[in-house]
Amino acid sequence: MSQKQDKNNLRDKDLMEEIAALCKRRGFVFSSSEIYGGFSAVYDYGPYGAELANNIKSAWWKAMVQENENIVGLDSSIFMHPKVWEASGHISGFSDPLAECKKCHTRVRVDHLLEEAGVFADEKMSEEEINKLLKENREKLKCPKCGDSDFSEAKEFNLLVQSNLGNFTGDWSKNPVYLRGETCQGIYVNFKNVLDSTRVKVPFGIAQIGKAFRNEITARQFIFRKREFEQMEMQFFVHSDEAMKSYEEWRERRWQFYIDLGIKKENLRWHKHENLVFYAKAAWDIEYKFPFGFKELEGVHYRADYDLKQHSKFSDKDLSYRDPQTNEKYIPHIVETSVGVDRTFLAVITDAITKEKLEDGSERTVMKFPKNLAPIKAAIFPLLKNKPELVKKAREIYENLKSQYMCEFDDNGNIGKRYRRQDEIGTPYCITVDFETLKDGTVTVRDRDTMKQERVKAEGLKTWLSEKLNS
């Protein structure tokens, strides 16, 4: 039997380091281009990380698209017409004021700097007002790198990442193309296409999962803030009279999504935006308790008719909707739910990582992933690798199960070591073929969480596993 987990005894910093180290050691997350020294705030998902990220995306897609008759999927391009970003306000407004630490020259986002100092900066503040605030709170500021509080004045810095796509003249500063800074713009510009090509009627939603790019200044907190990241966004188009009700429904449903996903309730909370951007009517974030504190996981925002109006104006196309029953013509309002795959990944890992002291005094690290998110569902071992009858039977079982689930065959090292390896990547079941198997056709199945073992008929393993994984 295991003792009570002691994860909570780890200091927050230790927990973050433990997670990052395990993610690297066990092939979940690597620094990008590591052999060249890495590339700041860009990360790669390794073999188990890719599985986990895919499982997260599938769970979201199922909850948002598959299970909702009135939500359809989309996969729009990363490159878009540059005018999209003018219409969206990203070219003029998607900038964060930065201040530079005079001692170590680290550039820090001013809103983060002030937030850490317990001072609130309104998004609508001018550069002048921000600088006044910085000056007034000077002694409270703290550089995240060196701890100093002497900062330069704040300057605006655009977050959109530029590209030279399709520009053959060489001077691409004049007509820059951008890598999308958020996926939802692809949804807005396809609103009419979806309306004209499918049978959707307002209220309906369009959902998509895709990469987004931002020139983030503060490159820290592991995969929480990446420069290339992935978003899962759903835009729900609704009549203005119904919008607030729909907004409240979506707030509830998105909260429930995380509970259903298996995230611990005590690690989630709501955060209300008090100072809204001028067009928004309501904005709440779901925050998760990451090792560095409660931070935004998902935004659920009521954006009114701003987005479609802007794109109507900039494209000169009518993006209004005519109700087939009432004949009313209007620009639908939008309720948006927006979450990052990477932040969900980090939340799932933070929730799952557990250290346990065992009865024999040893320790194990186990990822208690919800079963549907576990990268590998079952590992199949022959007890001994030099006994061909055991290896043959174990291979047979592996071949049979792999068509249905991500499985792993492992004959390396003693069984205890193989269990530890699977614990660290969160595999719910380890199946061992031993000498008894050859006699009575049963295998040993060991449960990740309880470490209890039971004998199961090899013949019925597929059904047994399905029942267990879906329970």
Checking DSSP bridges between strand 228-238 and strand 333-340, what pairing results, if any? antiparallel
CB 330 within 8 A of CB 239: yes
Q: According to CB under 6 A, which residues from 172 to 201 bind ligand ATP?
A: 182
**Stretch of 87-95, 166-174, 223-231, 462-470 contacting ligand ATP, by CB under 6 A:** 223-231
**Stretch of 50-58, 65-73, 225-233, 433-441 contacting ligand ATP, by CB under 6 A:** 225-233
Rounded to the nearest whole angstrom, what is the least distance from the CB of residue 340 to ligand ATP in the complex? 3
Query: Of 229 and 464, which CB lies nearer to ligand ATP in the complex structure?
Result: 229
**Stretch of 63-71, 202-210, 222-230, 359-367 contacting ligand ATP, by CB under 6 A:** 222-230
Query: Of 115 and 328, which CB lies nearer to ligand ATP in the complex structure?
Result: 115
Rounded to the nearest whole angstrom, what is the least distance from the CB of residue 142 to ligand ATP in the complex? 19
Query: Of 343 and 393, which CB lies nearer to ligand ATP in the complex structure?
Result: 343
Query: Of 210 and 382, which CB lies nearer to ligand ATP in the complex structure?
Result: 210
Query: Of 214 and 333, which CB lies nearer to ligand ATP in the complex structure?
Result: 214
Between the CA atoms of 377, 382, 384 and 389, what dihedral angle is there, to the nearest 10 degrees? -170
Query: Of 217 and 433, which CB lies nearer to ligand ATP in the complex structure?
Result: 217
- CA 264-471-263 angle, to 5 degrees, is 10
Q: Does 130 bind ligand ATP (CB under 6 A)?
A: no
Pairwise CA distance, residues 93 & 103, whole Å:
29
Bridge partners of 379, per DSSP, are 408, 430
Q: Which of 63, 134, 216, 250 binds ligand ATP (CB under 6 A)?
A: 216
Q: According to CB under 6 A, which residues from 196 to 215 bind ligand ATP?
A: 214
Query: Of 51 and 111, which CB lies nearer to ligand ATP in the complex structure?
Result: 111
Rounded to the nearest whole angstrom, what is the least distance from the CB of residue 332 to ligand ATP in the complex? 21
Q: Which of 231, 312, 442, 444 binds ligand ATP (CB under 6 A)?
A: 231
**Stretch of 22-30, 142-150, 226-234, 314-322 contacting ligand ATP, by CB under 6 A:** 226-234
Residue closest to ligand ATP, measured at CB: 340
Rounded to the nearest whole angstrom, what is the least distance from the CB of residue 335 to ligand ATP in the complex? 14
Size of interface with ligand ATP, in residues (CB under 6 A): 16
* String marking each residue 135-174 x if it binds ligand ATP according to CB under 6 A: ----------------------------------------
Query: Of 336 and 423, which CB lies nearer to ligand ATP in the complex structure?
Result: 336
Neighbours of 30 (CB within 10 A): 15
Query: Of 284 and 398, which CB lies nearer to ligand ATP in the complex structure?
Result: 284
Q: According to CB under 6 A, which residues from 276 to 335 bind ligand ATP?
A: 296-299
Neighbours of 444 (CB within 10 A): 18
Rounded to the nearest whole angstrom, what is the least distance from the CB of residue 125 to ligand ATP in the complex? 16
Query: Of 192 and 343, which CB lies nearer to ligand ATP in the complex structure?
Result: 343
Query: Of 120 and 435, which CB lies nearer to ligand ATP in the complex structure?
Result: 120
Q: Which of 192, 225, 355, 377 binds ligand ATP (CB under 6 A)?
A: 225
Give a three-class secondary structure readout of the chain: CECCCCHHHCCHHHHHHHHHHHHHHCCCEEECCHHHCCCCCCEEECHHHHHHHHHHHHHHHHHHHHCCCCEEEECCCCECCHHHHHHCCHHHHCECCEEEECCCCCEEEHHHHHHHCCCCCCCCCCHHHHHHHHHHCHHHCCCCCCCCCCECCCECCECCEEECCCCCCCCCCCCCEEECCCCHHHHHHCHHHHHHHCCCCCCEEEEEEEEEECCCCCCCCHHHCCCEEEEEEEEEEECHHHHHHHHHHHHHHHHHHHHHHCCCHHHEEEEECCCCCCCCCEEEEEEEEECCEEEEEEEEEEEECHHHHHHHHHHCCCCCEECCCCCCEECCEEEEEEEEHHHHHHHHHHHHEEEEEECCCCEEEEECCCHHHCCCCEEEEECCCCCHHHHHHHHHHHHHHCCCCCEEECCCCCHHHHHHHHHHCCCCEEEEECHHHHHHCEEEEEECCCCCEEEEEHHHHHHHHHHHHHC
* String marking each residue 330-349 x if it binds ligand ATP according to CB under 6 A: --------xxx-xx------
Q: List residues near ligand ATP by CB under 6 A.
A: 182, 214, 216, 225-226, 229, 231, 296-299, 338-340, 342-343
